[in-house]
Structure 1
Amino acid sequence: MENQLQNKPRILCLHGFRTSAEILKKLVGKWPETVLGNLDLVFLDAPFPAQGKSDVEGLFDPPYYEWFQSNQDFTEYINFEECLAYIEDYMLKHGPFDGLFGFSQGAILAAALPGMQAQGVALTKVPKIKFVIIISGAKFGGSMLGSPKLAANAFSPPIPCPSLHFIGETDFMKQEGTALLESFVDPVVIHHSEDHTVPRLDEKAQETVLQFVQKI
């Protein structure tokens, strides 16, 4: 079993805004064993307790966390450097990790980290991120979000690391997630009919995920 696990990509999973590692684990748990059995997923709570009401209150139990904070129009960021240091520290203690998996706020982070790592402004003490899986993501410096200083050049040039993107038909971040694709050299995309969530995987999506995992 241990040898088998060593062959699976080890993936650090970053949850959404004002949710938790446990909540993301439950959402991803809807995926079939044919997919989950090929991944070694590690779920991490963000460093900061939620500073306001969570959208998942009543659906999932607290506590809820957030990765970093910003002002209302997303032009100024707070605790961003602390967040990066926290993630790197966890990767050093519990890694090595092959890739990142992010949903919502976690996906915004996961999308930017390979570029920031390549530029030497984040994750400088850990091995290179080999791939990212992005669900309901967006781009720092895009139409919706300003950019923290450290992430200002995260997407220039476009990121060559393999990326798998999930884009929901009724997700309020659909436009942002679609625009993000231009920032990756050869993105693989799964379109689904759900909203801002980790979608269930139909047969075609399962096949795409497994092919992506085999490729990496």
Structure 2
Amino acid sequence: MTKPRNLPRIACFHGGGSNSTIYEVQCAQLSRLLENEFELVYFDGPFLRTPGPGILPAFEDFAPFRSWFKTDGNETEQGDGSGYDFSGRDGVERVWRLMGEAGPGGDWVGVMGFSQGSRIAGGLLLDQQRRVAMGEELGGRPVLKFGVMCMGGGVPMVSEVGYKMGDASEMIEIPTLHVHGLKDNFLSLGRQQYAAYYSPKTKRLYEVDYHHAMPWVKHEVQGLADHIRQIYWDTE
């Protein structure tokens, strides 16, 4: 079947110590199931680092490995993603720009992040939500309808403007799907993220009997594809 043109696009963000190519491989089954409905577009974090959990030995030839966050000399993480571009286009702003520069295609409708990448996906949703709440024009920015957080953990990336106007207790109200692996060593972090940063009114949970990786068992990948279709349809 010929792939329809200008499919709705989902921006995809890899985990810490990975990269866009690895994440594309990890999402291969999911991408095939959705290939006539969505285009998945993968982005690279700006900072180099050592391989993350589960990357070796399978992806040892896929270096360089990347992170979305930089640490200072004391290994303190720069939670806004700063440290890459000192012209004021760092972090969330940089990711919006990457999406804008991705070339022609369908409308951006969603974001998906694995592990550390869930913090980028959540950060974009939170940034959009705060700007809309303030009555700020989004300009040429996409209007995201949903997010998918896979084996996530940690606080959403907060933009520079978010520090100025944000409420630390604010929850993300844009609809989200959260994928938790019941064998994931980091499951407690995913559950904490789910409870702390996402509104009970708009979040939904999909649990799989899997470790810290994108779902790979056939019926679980099919389930994830069905959930993504449903959360999109529910926003239409």
TM-score band by shorter chain is: 0.7 to 0.9
Correspondence for 2:177? 164
2:196 pairs with 1:196: no
TM-score (norm 2): 0.74
Q: Which residue of 2 aligns with 1:5?
A: 5
* Secondary structure at the counterpart of residue 177 of structure 1: helix
| SS of 1:176 mapped into structure 2 | helix
* Residue deviations 1:52-77 (CA, integer Å, cap 9, x gap): 34441321121211111246998641
| CA 48–71 in structure 1, closer or farther in 2 if over 3 Å, else same | closer
Structure 1: distance between partners of 2:66 and 2:138? 25
Letter in 2 for 1:186: T
Change (3 A) 1:76 1:54: closer
The answer to whether structure 1 residue 136 and structure 2 residue 155 are counterparts is no
| Structure 1 counterpart of 2:58 | 59
What letter corresponds to residue 168 of structure 1 in structure 2?
Answer: G
Which amino acid in 2 is paired with 1:210? R
Alpha-carbon distance between aligned partners in 1 of 2:129 and 2:123, rounded to the nearest angstrom: 10
CA 1:124–1:76 in 2, change beyond 3 Å: closer, same or farther? farther
Percent identical residues: 21
Cross-structure match for 1:214: 233
CA distance in 1 between partners of 2:56 and 2:138 (Å): 36
**What is the root-mean-square deviation in Å for CA atoms of aligned residues?**
3.2
Displacement of 1:15: 0.5
Matches within 5 A, 1:114-125: 114-120=125-131
TM-score by length of 1: 0.80
- Aligned with 1:174 (options 187, 200, 208): 187
Stretches of structure 2 that go unaligned for 5 or more consecutive residues are 83-89
- Residue in structure 2 matching 1:187, options 199, 203, 208: 203
Amino acid of the residue matched to residue 197 of structure 1?
A
Q: In 2, Cα distance between the equivalents of 1:194 and 1:14? A: 20
Q: Deviations over 1:125-160 (max 9, x none)?
A: 51332110110112318xxxx988766647643222
Q: Encode CA deviations 1:52-103: one digit per residue, 9 max, x unaligned.
A: 3444132112121111124699864167132323212112222652211100
The reply on whether 1:43 has 2:37 as its aligned counterpart is no
Question: Separation in 1 of the partners of 2:41 and 2:230?
Answer: 21
Is the 2:15–2:52 Cα contact (8 Å) retained in structure 1?
A: no
